[in-house]
Chains A and B, each alone.
Chain A
């Protein structure tokens, strides 16, 4: 029996070894190395000759936090987090509620259609939208003209470029949370609605007092996951605007990419990565605190 135990234990380690080894070597180790790098002045010269690298302590962090370019990028990123996130959630919730209605025919068809953008390749659809936003030939301005709205140079004007990217991001992502929310709606017991109806509750009151509270934990979880995703916006501005016009769509991730892989300021770029990570961690911790509070 004892040898059986030992056989099982060694098998256990052998079975997890490839995956856990890869994760340790190529996921966790780089994070630790990244933190060390963020404390150094590692740059283009250091790639040729690592011996020139010096420790600079918190110097990179100081520079990040006093860099106007970083604060602008953070503002743009937070715009995606706090405007794009909620808008996407609203679209998800709206479409989930519509599809949950018993009267709806062809539910599977609509669900598939709304979900389709989620699986598409971001680079490809960002390109499509880039053409759709064209101020002369684009379909978006053409349709807006039916409602008497003057043409907008969506991606060419610093005042609208972020909105242009944000609309693409909402279109691309809302189907994902919609699916999760539909499952959440289906798990609400029908009796709760019956009881509310007997008490004379109207549609809005049923939504307010039955649907929302039952969906609460799911909404919270999905909402925070969505916001965390928005912290990482990169490909959209890269493909649609390259951060322009006038640097109005540079996100933190795009800034990190430019600093790291265009200018090879690895120390500085890693400091940017860790500041972003800290912000995401704080968001997650707030979510966990709220989630604990929302449990009965």
Chain B
């Protein structure tokens, strides 16, 4: 009874896995094909003679290394500032008593229903006044604080025992010192999760950098890629090399830190 059921189950799972992976594997394979090889009938699944020429073209001729650097700068800046600010706020909302705390927190949670895109046009006009349009700083700015991030840290920080903080106060430690030397190490697991989320979101984001950046040398990778396809739509293999270059860093990061990522998703889904 059991054997046929197990075989069927695994067959379905394997078909699903092949379907899910095919676009990604084809992207990788096509990026190593000779020019024109991806446009053949019947389609080639593997490159006849693997070549690195498209990757070379991306770096040497199209200067995509610069866009790679822009993406990295935006994601790293957004992540480091975002993690610090959200950690401070999340800890304060969980553990420090101050008048107005509940009111501010409730307002933030209520504001979660507003999609970021609603304020995008005025935000652009504001950045224009501040001289931040067409700068990487302007692209990274929305990553510096997130309601979801504050919420995630707060949930985690609620479990820190008050005694730990009070003991440090009795020893005469300043509030900042308590945060930096006692609270931050305890928060470490949730901060890794938050950092991973912020980094991936900043790296993958398209609409906001598309709006803010006008100078192609400042484009992040997704914007550069969307721009590149305009001129190179026939160069399938070249475009696939660009796609690999964009996807590979985030996919690798995810595979390395999967545990933390999964935990974050589950924390977010158990909001109420």
Name which of A54-62, A73-81, A118-126, A194-202 contacts chain B. Answer: A118-126
B250, A120: Cβ atoms under 8 Å? Answer: yes
Query: Which residues of B lie under 8 Å from residue A5 when comparing CB positions?
Result: 97
Known: A4-B169, A15-B88, A121-B221. A239 touches B204 (CB 8 A): no
Q: Is B12 on the interface with A (CB-CB < 8 A)?
A: yes
B222, A22: Cβ atoms under 8 Å? Answer: no
A120: which of B85, B101, B207, B251 is its contact (CB, 8 Å)?
B251
Query: Which residues of A lie under 8 Å from residue B181 when comparing CB positions?
Result: none
Name which of B52-60, B109-117, B187-195 contacts chain A. Answer: B109-117
Q: Is A296 on the interface with B (CB-CB < 8 A)?
A: no
Contact mask for chain B residues 1-34; partner A; CB cutoff 8 A; 1 contact, 0 none: 0100110011011001100111110110010000
Q: Is A165 on the interface with B (CB-CB < 8 A)?
A: no
A114, B20: Cβ atoms under 8 Å? Answer: yes
Task: Give the interface centre of A14, A26, A117 by most chain B CB atoms within 10 Å.
Answer: A26
A37, B122: Cβ atoms under 8 Å? Answer: yes
B89: which of A19, A119, A124, A253 is its contact (CB, 8 Å)?
A19
Within 8 A of B (CB), among A67-120: 95, 98-99, 101, 103-105, 110, 112-114, 116-117, 119-120
A9, B113: Cβ atoms under 8 Å? Answer: no
Task: Give the interface centre of B40, B43, B266 by most chain A CB atoms within 10 Å.
Answer: B43
Q: Is B260 on the interface with A (CB-CB < 8 A)?
A: no
A124, B9: Cβ atoms under 8 Å? Answer: no
Contact mask for chain B residues 192-231; partner A; CB cutoff 8 A; 1 contact, 0 none: 0000000010011011000100000000011101100100
- Complexed CA–CA distance, A172 and B266 (Å): 19
Number of A-B contacts (CB under 8 A): 275
B115, A232: Cβ atoms under 8 Å? Answer: yes
Task: Give the interface centre of B30, B108, B142, B242 by most chain A CB atoms within 10 Å.
Answer: B108
Known: A19-B86, A19-B150. A280 touches B92 (CB 8 A): no
Q: Is B239 on the interface with A (CB-CB < 8 A)?
A: yes
Known: A11-B96, A121-B246, A234-B207. A18 touches B120 (CB 8 A): no
Query: Which residues of A lie under 8 Å from residue B26 when comparing CB positions?
Result: 128, 132, 139
Query: Which residues of B lie under 8 Å from residue A130 when comparing CB positions?
Result: 229
15 A-B contacts (beta carbon < 8 Å): A8-B175, A26-B123, A27-B119, A47-B128, A104-B13, A113-B17, A119-B261, A121-B247, A128-B23, A128-B27, A139-B43, A179-B265, A261-B124, A277-B115, A284-B113
Further contacts, 6 of them, CB under 8 A, given A124-B242, A179-B262: A16-B104, A114-B17, A117-B23, A121-B204, A131-B240, A228-B115
Interface residues in chain B, defined as those with a beta carbon under 8 Å from any beta carbon in chain A: 2, 5-6, 9-10, 12-13, 16-17, 20-24, 26-27, 30, 38-43, 85-86, 88-89, 91-93, 96-101, 104, 108, 111, 113-126, 128, 141-142, 144-147, 150, 169, 175-176, 179, 200, 203-204, 206-207, 211, 221-223, 225-226, 229, 236, 239-240, 242-244, 246-247, 250-251, 254-255, 258, 261-262, 265-266, 269, 271-272
The 6 closest A-B pairs by CB, nearest first: A30-B119, A12-B98, A15-B92, A11-B175, A12-B96, A19-B89
Interface residues in chain A, defined as those with a beta carbon under 8 Å from any beta carbon in chain B: 4-5, 7-16, 18-20, 22-23, 26-31, 33-34, 37, 47, 95, 98-99, 101, 103-105, 110, 112-114, 116-117, 119-125, 127-132, 134, 136-139, 142, 171, 176, 179-180, 183, 218, 221-222, 228, 231-232, 234-235, 238-239, 253, 256-257, 260-261, 266, 269-270, 273-274, 276-277, 280-281, 284, 291
